[in-house]
């Protein structure tokens, strides 16, 4: 953990001449191997991180400019270091509480910065009037001259809000001291209010839909009747959407004001992303390269020429553009694995606090996953570091509950599955790109579940 914190300033704001300092990482791992006979703490996710980081390395060869891609590469490296640092740190229940508290405090710090830096949009009259009280006042970071983009801000808040909400409602029953319980209740109440307020101010429809999905998931977990009501509402909504096709009216709309990426523009971006994946299926374009090469190679006519669309606005497409289909398969498999790890803790843990953390993280990650279907926080983005922290808490929590989990002995089988599924997906992408991506995503889910699911010989500690 100390290594990640020491290198954090360099990796958050990287400069190519300074990157020689990262040579301390293999030296540190070598010392760790000598002392503990392992490069990193064992987790079910390690076998999936290996192909992901391998493709990050390949992307440096594929990119048109290492200096341009350096921000995302360095951000990904920082995320992995924080992940392993947290896993090594979370060895006791007390340290788990400290990690969760730090996670929520980090969310509050991000929220306060958002209030000072974000250039809020004007989509809804009521919220527009409230947003006028929070103009951008602080522009000290590179790239924030025009304020933060409110969509990623909203997409980040939905990761924290369910965790704080679940802990507030049912996660503090095991706190013995009345004084400490009151302090925790007050702090969590403030956190929920801050996260909710910033989520509303962001006016991000994708984030709102993601949060609605998380709320539906939480309700379905608390009672059978809520589960049935959620399924009924989902079925009714699907039938209504199939009959009325409301998206047709939205797609035909002109570009939203303020360079807002409308649904029409998203469809065009997604089609250009497909072209890019077909042209660079093995290696991808290089991390963050689509924002430059995409406009040059595959023009987007419904988006202003002077505007930056930043990403492909879809998690799967952006990962395939950055790291190729093999990198996309590795990333989606990690998402699938953490879902299963959290589900196992929630279902089998006898500790109410552990169950609350697992449920809150499941809901938060689900909300962010839904958000990233129509938007994206690219791998290596600065706010994406909180996703890595959530992964570290998940892996640490799982190790506390299942200390004898044995999966690394089957790593070669999982890596072979990753290679074969990536190869099959690539073989179809030229003629049948949507089928190829579907195969890659389905295979990635299977790999993630293989890495995390319980098998004979796995024991609960």
| Percentage of the chain lying above the pLDDT 90 cut | 44
Q: How far apart are the two ends of the chain, measured CA to CA in Å?
A: 25
**How many degrees, rounded to 5, is the angle at CA 216 between CA 108 and CA 189?**
30
Average pLDDT value over all residues in the chain: 83
Q: Token digits for 419?
A: 């290679």
Q: What is the reported pLDDT for 258?
A: 47
Residue 245 pLDDT > 60, yes or no? no
Is the model more confident about 7 or about 322? 322
Please say whether the beta carbons of 345 and 358 come within 8 A: yes
Rounded to two decimals, the pTM is 0.89
Mean pLDDT of 431-436: 94
Residue 17 pLDDT > 70, yes or no? yes
CA–CA dist 459, 357 (Å, integer):
22
DSSP class of residue 307? -
Question: Of 105, 17, 136, 8, whose CA–CA distance to 67 is shortest?
Answer: 17
Q: Token digits for 211?
A: 């949060």
Rank 14-23, 134-143, 324-333 by mean pLDDT and report only the highest: 324-333
Helix (H) or strand (E) holding 28: helix 24-36
Mean pLDDT of 89-104: 92
- Token match 């059978």: residue? 224
What per-residue string of b and e applies to 245-262 under the rule 16 or more CB within 10 Å gives b?
eeeeeeeeeeeeeeeebb
φ/ψ of 405, rounded to 5, equals -60, 125
Q: Token digits for 336?
A: 């699938």
* Interval 176-190: pLDDT, tens: 667 777 788 888 899
Q: How many CA atoms lie within 13 A of 264 on its CB side?
A: 14
Please say whether the beta carbons of 344 and 397 come within 8 A: no
Residue 142 pLDDT > 50, yes or no? no
For the residues of 308-338, what is the DSSP string, one character each?
Answer: ---S-SSHHHHHHHHHHHHHHHHHHHHHHHH
Residue 449 CB-density burial (10 A; 0-12 exposed, 13-18 middle, 19+ buried): middle
* Interval 379-392: pLDDT, tens: 999 899 999 999 99
Show the DSSP H helices in 92-223 as ranges.
93-117, 125-131, 150-166, 178-202, 205-222
Is the model more confident about 243 or about 451? 451
Non-local CB neighbours of 233 within 8 Å, separated by 6+ positions: 216
Domain locations along the chain: 44-452
Residue 343 pLDDT > 90, yes or no? yes
Non-local CB neighbours of 353 within 8 Å, separated by 6+ positions: 93, 97, 171, 174
Q: How many Cβ atoms from other residues are within 10 Å of residue 37's Cβ?
A: 7
Q: How many Cβ atoms from other residues are within 10 Å of residue 31's Cβ?
A: 10
What confidence tier does 74 reach under pLDDT thresholds 50, 70, 90?
very high
CA 294 to chain centre: 23
């Amino acid at each position: 953990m100390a290594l990640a914190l020491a290198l954090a300033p360099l990796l958050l704001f990287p400069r190519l001449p300074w990157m020689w300092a990262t040579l301390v990482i293999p030296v540190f791992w070598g010392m760790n191997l000598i002392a503990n006979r392992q490069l990193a703490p064992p987790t079910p996710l390690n076998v999936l991180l290996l192909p992901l980081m391998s493709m990050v390395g390949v992307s440096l060869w594929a990119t048109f400019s290492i200096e341009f891609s350096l921000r995302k590469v360095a951000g990904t490296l920082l995320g992995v270091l924080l992940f392993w640092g947290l896993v090594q740190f979370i060895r006791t229940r007390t340290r788990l509480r400290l990690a969760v508290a730090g996670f929520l405090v980090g969310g509050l710090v991000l929220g306060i910065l958002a209030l000072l830096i974000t250039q809020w949009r004007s989509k809804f009259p009521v919220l527009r009037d409230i947003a006028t009280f929070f103009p951008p006042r602080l522009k000290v970071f590179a790239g924030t001259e025009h304020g933060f983009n409110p969509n990623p801000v909203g997409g980040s808040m939905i990761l924290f809000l369910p965790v704080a909400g679940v802990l507030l409602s049912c996660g503090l029953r095991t706190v013995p001291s009345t004084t400490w319980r009151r302090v925790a209740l007050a702090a969590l109440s403030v956190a929920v209010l801050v996260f909710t307020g910033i989520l509303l101010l962001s006016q991000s429809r994708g984030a709102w839909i993601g949060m609605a999905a998380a709320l539906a998931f939480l309700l379905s977990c608390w009672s059978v009747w809520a589960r049935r009501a959620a399924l009924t509402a989902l079925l009714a909504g699907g039938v209504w959407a199939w009959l009325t096709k409301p998206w047709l009216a939205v797609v035909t709309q002109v570009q939203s004001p303020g360079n807002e990426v409308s649904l029409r523009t998203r469809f065009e971006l997604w089609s250009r992303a497909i072209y890019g994946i077909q042209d660079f299926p093995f290696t991808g374009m290089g991390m963050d390269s689509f924002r430059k090469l995409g406009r040059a190679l595959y023009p987007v006519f419904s988006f202003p020429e002077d505007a930056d669309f930043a990403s492909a606005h879809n998690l799967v497409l952006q990962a395939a553009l950055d790291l190729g289909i093999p990198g996309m398969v590795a990333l989606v498999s990690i998402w699938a694995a953490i879902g299963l790890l959290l589900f196992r803790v929630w279902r089998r843990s006898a500790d109410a606090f552990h169950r609350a953390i697992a449920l809150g993280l499941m809901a938060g990650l689900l909300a962010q996953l839904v958000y990233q279907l129509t938007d994206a926080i690219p791998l290596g983005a600065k706010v994406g570091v909180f996703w890595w922290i959530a992964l570290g808490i998940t892996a640490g929590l799982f190790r506390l509950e299942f200390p004898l989990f044995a999966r690394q002995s089957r790593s070669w089988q999982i890596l072979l599955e990753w290679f074969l599924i990536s190869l099959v997906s690539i073989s179809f992408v030229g003629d049948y790109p949507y089928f190829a991506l579907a195969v890659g995503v389905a295979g990635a889910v299977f790999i993630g579940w293989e890495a995390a699911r319980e098998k004979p010989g796995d024991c609960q500690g």
